[in-house]
């Protein structure tokens, strides 16, 4: 089916409502006419600029952070604009331009409230927000609908309830990069002109009923944050799916899972945690994952349990060399070391590995993506990291495609191709060579380590000795608790990575 016929099929299909899931691990299932994983923020910003230009009714932006000064792309003419029309490149001006250009357009922006403190140091962003607040079609809110110490961490865009994005990329500064992760790329500069390092990220673009389900999730969160209720968008024939993008997946069911803390009558939701455990325990041959952190007790326990069983899968996790900021490094890096020591006691076949990506010139690439592939059968991507906060404190949203579900079997080839593409990006080899290299080496890890050391870009993570302070912080999850109330509990056996009743044991 070509792009135009896919659009026609979408417009003519009867909208099947999203299906509620009776389990504790999924919020809803819904069909997507098209879906596509976008790797790295450079391609994502360009795709989203094209998609937002086609918005007709409502643009909903939900994120952990927004920086109105960032450039989505270079201001230029586009396929559906008059010949002389040129749109702004900066996010702040672009949103106002969209609202002025499209009669009746609603723009709703929801951002974590703590980040409001950053605005003082972001210069012209204060002026952009003032213009947004004055505009009758734009409503901007800070999300504080969570307990003290928690955060709003979802990264969702919904356009007309027909096209949506869910993943790990925020529309903010110091995120832009390409899959090549070039050394000293002059385009990789902060708003103030200072360069920043290579950055790896990912998100999923969805069209159809699954996008409408994400729209419902966004509207629910908007109301929880104090916004006025909104009705779903009216059915329309037009789709904002970018004309330049050929979808990897077509006519596929998508599942949605959430994390949410209990707050003022809002119930706790831990679907993402339950889904991680289910997916890990069902793995037969392989798990490939990318995450900003590896610090979740529940995820580590599920990995250890599966590794102890007969015929364990190969597990490869791509992590950054170190977390950003002193607090994150103290909490997350220490927990990673402790958990790796603990998992090692349950891994007799040496199937579990963590690798760090580097550029050709040897600079560490920061991994911000949150992605997991199981047996080339399940693909999940979202805002949730492999840490405790994402399982029980912060508001998160993940989407996944399960090829074992009825009607999804055709997705297996695209899931495998995506894994090969990601390994190729990190290893610096052609994607078409990856299947042959894995077959020759016998495993993903063997392929990675078999590359000529002079050209090797994925390198094993080496454990280091922790200070007593780092051990205490990591062992007791002082900065990465599993529930909001643990932020204020004393240290004890009821909390931490090695709490009573868990299968992991504290490293000696």
Question: What is the span of the domain harbouring residue 342?
Answer: 257-488
Sequence-distant (6+) residues with CB within 8 A of 40 are: 177, 178, 179, 199, 200, 201, 202
CA nearest 428: which of 458, 392, 397?
A: 458
Task: Based on the fold, state whether residues 429 and 366 are members of the same structural domain.
Answer: yes
Is the confidence at residue 508, as pLDDT, over 90? no
Task: Based on the fold, state whether residues 165 and 305 are members of the same structural domain.
Answer: no
CA nearest 374: which of 304, 276, 308?
A: 276
Compute how many other C-beta atoms are within 10 angstroms of the C-beta atom of residue 325: 10
Residues in the chain: 508
The answer to whether 428 touches 421, Cβ cutoff 8 Å, is no
CATH at 422: 3.30.870.10
Res. 497 pLDDT band, cuts 50 70 90: confident
Q: What are phi and psi of 378, to 5 degrees?
A: -120, 130
Res. 78 pLDDT band, cuts 50 70 90: very low
Q: For residues 109 and 63, what is the distance between their CA atoms, to the nearest angstrom?
A: 8
pLDDT attached to residue 472: 81
Boundary (domain end) residue, out of 234, 254, 274: 254
Q: What is the mean pLDDT of residues 148-170?
A: 96
221 in a structural domain: yes
Give the SS3 label for residue 250.
strand
- pTM for this predicted structure: 0.92
Res. 125 pLDDT band, cuts 50 70 90: confident
Task: Based on the fold, state whether residues 190 and 266 are members of the same structural domain.
Answer: no
Is the confidence at residue 130, as pLDDT, over 80? yes
Distant-in-sequence contacts of 134-137, Cβ < 8 A, 24+ apart: 135/96, 135/99, 135/107, 137/99, 137/105, 137/106, 137/107
SS3 content of the chain, % helix, strand, coil (to 5): 35, 25, 45
Task: Based on the fold, state whether residues 52 and 183 are members of the same structural domain.
Answer: yes
Is the confidence at residue 134, as pLDDT, over 90? yes
Is the confidence at residue 490, as pLDDT, over 80? no
pLDDT attached to residue 328: 80
DSSP assignment string, 174-209: S----TT--TT-TT-B-TTS-B---EE-EEEEEESH
First to last CA, the chain: 59
pLDDT digits (tens, 9 = 90+) for 288-317: 999 999 999 999 999 999 999 999 999 999
Is the confidence at residue 451, as pLDDT, over 80? yes
Name the packing angle between helices 297-308 and 271-282 (round to 10°).
Answer: 20
Compute how many other C-beta atoms are within 10 angstroms of the C-beta atom of residue 73: 17
297 in a structural domain: yes
pLDDT attached to residue 36: 98
pLDDT attached to residue 488: 67
498 in a structural domain: no
Task: Based on the fold, state whether residues 25 and 162 are members of the same structural domain.
Answer: yes
11 in a structural domain: no
Is the confidence at residue 13, as pLDDT, over 70? no
Classify residue 498 by burial, with Cβ atoms within 10 Å: 0-12, 13-18, 19+.
buried
pLDDT attached to residue 74: 47
pLDDT digits (tens, 9 = 90+) for 19-52: 766 579 999 999 999 999 999 999 999 999 999 9
Task: Based on the fold, state whether residues 193 and 307 are members of the same structural domain.
Answer: no
Count of domains for the chain: 2
Task: Based on the fold, state whether residues 245 and 263 are members of the same structural domain.
Answer: no
Is the confidence at residue 96, as pLDDT, over 90? yes
Sequence-distant (6+) residues with CB within 8 A of 136 are: none
H or E segment to which residue 52 belongs? helix 41-53
pLDDT attached to residue 11: 38
Q: For residues 258 and 154, what is the distance between their CA atoms, to the nearest angstrom?
A: 9
Task: Based on the fold, state whether residues 250 and 264 are members of the same structural domain.
Answer: no
Boundary (domain end) residue, out of 231, 254, 277: 254
Boundary (domain end) residue, out of 211, 227, 254: 254
More confident residue, 198 or 485: 198
């Amino acid at each position: 089916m070509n792009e135009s016929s896919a659009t026609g099929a979408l417009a003519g299909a009867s909208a099947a409502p999203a299906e509620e899931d009776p389990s504790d691990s999924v919020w809803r299932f819904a069909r997507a006419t098209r879906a596509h994983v976008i790797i790295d923020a450079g391609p994502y910003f360009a795709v989203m600029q094209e998609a937002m230009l086609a918005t007709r009714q409502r643009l909903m932006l939900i994120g952990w952070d927004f920086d109105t000064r960032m450039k989505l792309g270079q201001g230029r003419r586009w396929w559906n604009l008059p010949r002389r029309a040129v749109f702004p490149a900066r996010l702040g001006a672009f949103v106002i331009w969209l609202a002025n250009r499209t009669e009746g357009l609603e723009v709703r922006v929801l951002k974590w409230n703590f980040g409001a403190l950053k605005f003082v140091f972001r210069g012209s962003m204060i002026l952009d927000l003032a213009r947004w607040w004055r505009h009758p079609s734009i409503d901007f809110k800070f999300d504080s609908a969570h307990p003290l110490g928690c955060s709003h961490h979802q990264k969702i865009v919904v356009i007309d309830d027909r096209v949506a994005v869910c993943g790990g990329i925020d529309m903010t500064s110091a995120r832009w990069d390409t899959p090549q992760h070039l050394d000293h790329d002059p385009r990789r500069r902060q708003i103030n002109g200072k360069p920043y390092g290579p950055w790896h990220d990912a998100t999923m673009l969805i069209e159809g009923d699954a996008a409408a389900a994400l729209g419902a999730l966004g509207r629910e969160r908007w109301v929880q944050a104090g916004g006025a209720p909104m009705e779903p968008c009216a059915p329309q024939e037009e789709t904002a799916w970018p004309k330049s993008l050929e979808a990897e997946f077509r006519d596929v069911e998508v599942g949605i899972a959430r994390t949410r803390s209990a707050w003022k009558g809002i119930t706790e939701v831990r679907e993402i945690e339950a889904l991680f455990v289910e997916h890990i325990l069902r793995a037969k041959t392989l798990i490939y994952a990318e995450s900003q952190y590896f610090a979740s007790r529940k995820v580590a326990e599920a990995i250890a349990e599966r590794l102890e069983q007969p015929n364990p899968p190969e597990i490869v996790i791509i992590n950054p060399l170190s977390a950003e900021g002193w607090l994150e490094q103290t909490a997350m890096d220490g927990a990673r070391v402790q958990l790796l020591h603990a998992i090692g006691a349950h891994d007799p076949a040496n199937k579990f590995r963590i690798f760090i990506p580097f550029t050709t010139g040897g600079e560490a690439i920061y991994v911000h993506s949150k992605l997991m592939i199981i047996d080339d059968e399940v693909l999940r991507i979202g805002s949730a990291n492999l840490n405790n906060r994402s399982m029980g404190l912060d508001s998160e949203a993940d989407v996944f495609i399960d090829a074992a579900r009825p009607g999804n079997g055709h997705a297996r080839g695209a899931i495998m191709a995506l894994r090969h593409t990601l390994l190729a990006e990190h290893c610096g080899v052609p994607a078409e060579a990856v299947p042959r290299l894995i077959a020759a080496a016998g495993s993903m890890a063997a392929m990675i380590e078999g590359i000529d050391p002079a050209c090797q870009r994925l390198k094993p993570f080496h454990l280091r000795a922790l200070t007593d302070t780092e051990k205490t912080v990591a062992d007791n999850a002082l900065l990465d608790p599993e529930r909001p109330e643990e932020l204020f509990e004393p240290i004890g056996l009821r909390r931490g990575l090695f709490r009573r009743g868990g299968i992991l044991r504290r490293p000696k």
